[in-house]
Structure 1
Amino acid sequence: MYLKRKMDAALEAWKSDEGRKPLIVKGPRQVGKTATIRRFAAEHYRSVVEINFAEEPRYAAITSSGYSVDEVVKNISLLDPSKQFIPGQTLIFFDELQDHPDIATALKFFKQDGRFDVICSGSMLGINYRTIESNSVGYKTDVEMSSLDFEEFLWAKGYGDDAADAIFQHLVRLQPFSELEMNVYSNLFMDYCTLGGMPEVVASYIESGTFEGTLQLQRQLVADYREDIQKYAEGLDQARILNVFRHIPVQLAKENKKFQISKVSSGARFKDYRGCVEWLESAGMVNVCRCLSFPELPLKGNYDENKYKIYFADTGLFVSMLDDEASDDLRANRNLGVYKGALFESIVGEALHKAGYDLYYYKRENSTLEEDFFVRTRNNLVPVEVKSKKGTAKSMRTLITSDSYPDIQFGIKLSAGNIGSSDMLFTTPYFTTFLLKKLLRAYDEGEVALFTEE
């Protein structure tokens, strides 16, 4: 079962560009990169030459005699004479690039030669990828792919582009959703929270119409990720990286969700684990939310590197690592127990990251003032609060009304409730998170007014 992806449109746009460069599609493993590229290739090329460096390590020898197109093509043909290279009608697809990053050096020559299109795909694992980044600068295009976001999940459920457009119109018009709309979208969103966006898991759910078997698939993905850590973590203590990975759900379940290295193992020190979190982040396995030194613009560089929260890049992995009772209760009864706040924070962080935001939060020392996330418009810093239960957003009110935070003029609250707007606080349901960046862009352009006072 093929699931429609936003990467489909990105590949079409790349193909239509007459000056296109070799393309590198990066992203965590098993998010659908290979399936998406294969489908695109079959629809647009007479010949597709696919080489998987992980499954066929013998192909690492294709650069042994040089990086010119003629040398690479000659060596591929020596290993497999059935592969056809038709100028202007051939796509060469190098998969699992992280297992042979040296091939990236050849991309410059493929661009200059121009006879064949080239797409590479790789998981962001280990230090090998840094080699790729430094090769063929100016002669390649990089794009990132993640697991399905909520809009792609809606596509998988049979909804068209008009569904996201309809949701967006509610936001720009400050028009509350009907009871039917709230029920349908909220239930779909809870299914998405439970499943995550890994294509194999979502496809199983779509085909069967139930959650049966999805937990086993999720847990297998977690096992595969752990295996990747052991395979690719070079120069770092693999056990420490695995310890960090394993402790994420436990620490998210606590009221103070700041990740504490001291809780990972007895006597653990921050300096001993400095590279572990960065490794998991660069591999695309986790999203790191950094604590702002002070809630003001600019955001980049304005954070304490020793304070952060860690969320899984795909919330389905988080769900699969809950204890059996909590996982069963979530699937059967939608009961999240002690993980309720953690799950919604995680899914919002995931949605913001997939929309292109870096993640930041703020916790003032010796104070109850704390804000879950921050995004920005052209001129304003915008706090985003995730409410897992009804209640006032006290920290948000303080940030908006206090003269101490001049960059903050309004805030956004995400909850299970409907759309609302008052006192410079815009409230919207969780399931609209994937549209926040589009909404704030429209706000910047003066196309929408988030508050009736404006």
Structure 2
Amino acid sequence: MQRKLLEQLLAWKSSRKRLPLLLEGARQVGKTYLLKTLFGEKYFQKVVYVNFERTDLELVALFEGNIEPQRIINYLSLKFNTSVNQSDTLIIFDEIQEVPRALTSLKYFAEDAPEYYIVATGSLLGIALHSGTSFPVGKVNRLRLYPMDFEEFCWANNMQNQTTEAHDAIQLLKKPLITSGFKDVFQQYLAIGGMPAVVSEWVENKNLTIVEMILKNILADYKDDFSKHTSNTESRRIGNLWQSVPQQFAKENHKFIYKTIEPSARGRDYAFALDWLLDAGLIYKINLTAHGDKLPLSFYSDNSDFKIYALDVGLMRQLASLPASIVVGDDNIWSNFGGAFAENFVLQQLRSLGFDEAYYWASNADNPNQPKGKSELDFIISDENVIFPIEVKSGEQVKGQSLRVFRKKYSPELSIRFSLKSLEYNEGLLNIPLYYSFLFADLIKQKEKLSISDFAFKNNDATRT
């Protein structure tokens, strides 16, 4: 399976200003496979791999003493019976947060042995840092890996040519010609999600029973982490908050409410649990921003008014104990949760595309003397000092006042709607089909030209003037 982050790994490998690399991401998003198989085995002659969760005490003890790089290199050469060379060997320190001194050693590799290719991964690094582990600030390059996004899922389903053709069409300011294939795979993605082990099973065998089992196992592993790294009380709270994620979306207003977790829940009691899940990468937190026309958006955000989303739509479905069939039907379950899945999907794609900061907006939020209005816009992001309001709809019915209210108030340069309607541009509003989410970055780069492109026409060629 291909991963987009491989391109950035190759750029890191060839960079003259390369520092030790830290690859972050939630557990089981594919960090080890990416580094060992896609990157290490294909672009290096040798790979020296150390998993600090499973290694022996002797190797752990190595980092309790002198962590001078050459001493570590010499030990690894003996330990793995290979010559660790600066020109052809990739060193991987997996789950580096388990041995804080190993993390510290990256500083000395950066200063004294920058010629070596050394990569570290951390699933729970944010938690370790909150616990007091020192970080080699300014001495590492950092990348983050998310679950497979929709385009990577298409690649796994042998649709590389189709995605390439779609990208090329946008470059030419044309509408992509193929839609049915993307629609079908999009429905699959909503049910399967982007966790690599789950995607692999689905692509190879189409065995939904095994898919469900793998998803349940991943959730069980996460639950084990709750208890392994925290006290019994905090573990219970983390588990309760995590289980409440689908319930937060069952409300018409998706704003996070602590009492949804349990009637007696209070913010101060669950602050640690919320931070733990954020640090572990299992949830995304979207704060309210009071202004839709002022940058930076973070300056006007309200950290106490927020929504949370799961890192993956497949995991969220399993967490909610919903059958995979809900994404292909129009039953009551889908009508209740369709908006939640669509929003979670869009946010997941935005993160994978590099939009790390997103907010939501509500009318009257800029007036502390009035209650927050009924109009709420799903996401607001910025790119190159341009603010993009984003509305998400789960079907072809796109009537709603929130985006209209926002546009009337702020007159944004370009407004975005994700839905199941066809790709079209009309008077500053760009509708992107959910199954074309991977084209989002391409489309906004063309924002000045959209009005003169095929997207400016709602009807087919025969009706154009």
Preserved contact between residue 20 and residue 106 of structure 2 (Cα < 8 Å): yes
What is the CA deviation profile of residues 405-448 of structure 1, one whole-angstrom value per residue up to 9, with x for unaligned ones?
25x243111111101222322112012223223322343xx465
Preserved contact between residue 377 and residue 441 of structure 1 (Cα < 8 Å): no
CA distance in 2 between partners of 1:105 and 1:376 (Å): 34
Q: Secondary structure at the match of 1:67?
A: coil
Preserved contact between residue 65 and residue 71 of structure 1 (Cα < 8 Å): no
Judged with a 3 Å threshold, the aligned counterparts in structure 2 of structure 1 residues 171 and 86 are, in CA distance, closer, same or farther, namely closer
Judged with a 3 Å threshold, the aligned counterparts in structure 2 of structure 1 residues 307 and 366 are, in CA distance, closer, same or farther, namely closer
Aligned position for 1:396 = 403
Preserved contact between residue 236 and residue 276 of structure 1 (Cα < 8 Å): no
Structure 1: which 4+ aligned runs deviate by more than 6 Å?
A: none
CA distance in 1 between partners of 2:225 and 2:241 (Å): 14
CA distance in 2 between partners of 1:46 and 1:172 (Å): 38
Preserved contact between residue 289 and residue 298 of structure 2 (Cα < 8 Å): no
Of 360, 379, 382, the match for 1:376: 382
Aligned position for 1:67 = 67
The offset of 1:320, in angstroms, is: 0.9
Aligned position for 2:461 = none
Moved more, 330-339 or 95-104: 330-339
Aligned position for 1:28 = 26
| Residues 162-201 of structure 1 mapped to structure 2, 5 A cutoff | 162-171=161-170, 175-176=174-175, 178=177, 181-201=178-198
Equivalent residue letter for 2:375: L
CA distance in 2 between partners of 1:138 and 1:377 (Å): 25
Moved more, 370-379 or 232-241: 232-241
Of 326, 329, 333, the match for 1:330: 326
Preserved contact between residue 195 and residue 202 of structure 1 (Cα < 8 Å): yes
CA distance in 2 between partners of 1:236 and 1:282 (Å): 18
Segments of 5+ residues of structure 1 without an aligned counterpart are: none
Aligned position for 1:431 = 435
Equivalent residue letter for 1:153: F
Preserved contact between residue 378 and residue 390 of structure 2 (Cα < 8 Å): yes
Judged with a 3 Å threshold, the aligned counterparts in structure 2 of structure 1 residues 130 and 272 are, in CA distance, closer, same or farther, namely closer
Q: Secondary structure at the match of 1:347?
A: helix
Equivalent residue letter for 1:369: S
CA RMSD of aligned residues (A): 2.6
2:296 matches 1:290: no
| Residues 296-311 of structure 1 mapped to structure 2, 5 A cutoff | 296-298=293-295, 299-311=297-309
| Residues 167-316 of structure 1 mapped to structure 2, 5 A cutoff | 167-171=166-170, 175-176=174-175, 178=177, 181-233=178-230, 237-298=234-295, 299-316=297-314
Judged with a 3 Å threshold, the aligned counterparts in structure 2 of structure 1 residues 236 and 17 are, in CA distance, closer, same or farther, namely farther
The offset of 1:168, in angstroms, is: 3.6
Equivalent residue letter for 2:414: F
CA distance in 2 between partners of 1:173 and 1:88 (Å): 41
Judged with a 3 Å threshold, the aligned counterparts in structure 2 of structure 1 residues 233 and 362 are, in CA distance, closer, same or farther, namely farther
The offset of 1:118, in angstroms, is: 0.9
CA distance in 2 between partners of 1:277 and 1:448 (Å): 41
What is the CA deviation profile of residues 244-265 of structure 1, one whole-angstrom value per residue up to 9, with x for unaligned ones?
1000011112211111002211
Aligned position for 1:385 = 391
The offset of 1:270, in angstroms, is: 1.4
Judged with a 3 Å threshold, the aligned counterparts in structure 2 of structure 1 residues 329 and 200 are, in CA distance, closer, same or farther, namely same
Preserved contact between residue 19 and residue 114 of structure 2 (Cα < 8 Å): no
Q: Secondary structure at the match of 2:34?
A: helix
2:93 matches 1:82: no
Equivalent residue letter for 2:361: Y
Aligned residue pairs total 440
Judged with a 3 Å threshold, the aligned counterparts in structure 2 of structure 1 residues 132 and 21 are, in CA distance, closer, same or farther, namely farther
Aligned position for 1:413 = 417
TM-score computed with the length of structure 1 as normaliser: 0.89
CA distance in 1 between partners of 2:282 and 2:314 (Å): 12
What percentage of residue pairs aligned between the two structures are identical? 28
What is the CA deviation profile of residues 386-414 of structure 1, one whole-angstrom value per residue up to 9, with x for unaligned ones?
11240323221121123xx25x2431111
Q: Secondary structure at the match of 2:299?
A: coil
Aligned position for 2:153 = 153
Judged with a 3 Å threshold, the aligned counterparts in structure 2 of structure 1 residues 102 and 176 are, in CA distance, closer, same or farther, namely same
Equivalent residue letter for 1:43: K
CA distance in 1 between partners of 2:116 and 2:241 (Å): 43
Judged with a 3 Å threshold, the aligned counterparts in structure 2 of structure 1 residues 378 and 12 are, in CA distance, closer, same or farther, namely closer
Aligned position for 2:343 = 345
Q: Secondary structure at the match of 1:372?
A: strand
CA distance in 1 between partners of 2:270 and 2:414 (Å): 37
Preserved contact between residue 129 and residue 135 of structure 2 (Cα < 8 Å): no
The offset of 1:74, in angstroms, is: 4.2
CA distance in 2 between partners of 1:447 and 1:424 (Å): 11
CA distance in 2 between partners of 1:313 and 1:411 (Å): 25
Q: Secondary structure at the match of 2:398?
A: coil
TM-score computed with the length of structure 2 as normaliser: 0.87
Equivalent residue letter for 1:54: E
Moved more, 62-71 or 358-367: 358-367
Aligned position for 1:356 = 354
CA distance in 2 between partners of 1:252 and 1:184 (Å): 29
Preserved contact between residue 123 and residue 280 of structure 2 (Cα < 8 Å): yes
The offset of 1:68, in angstroms, is: 0.3
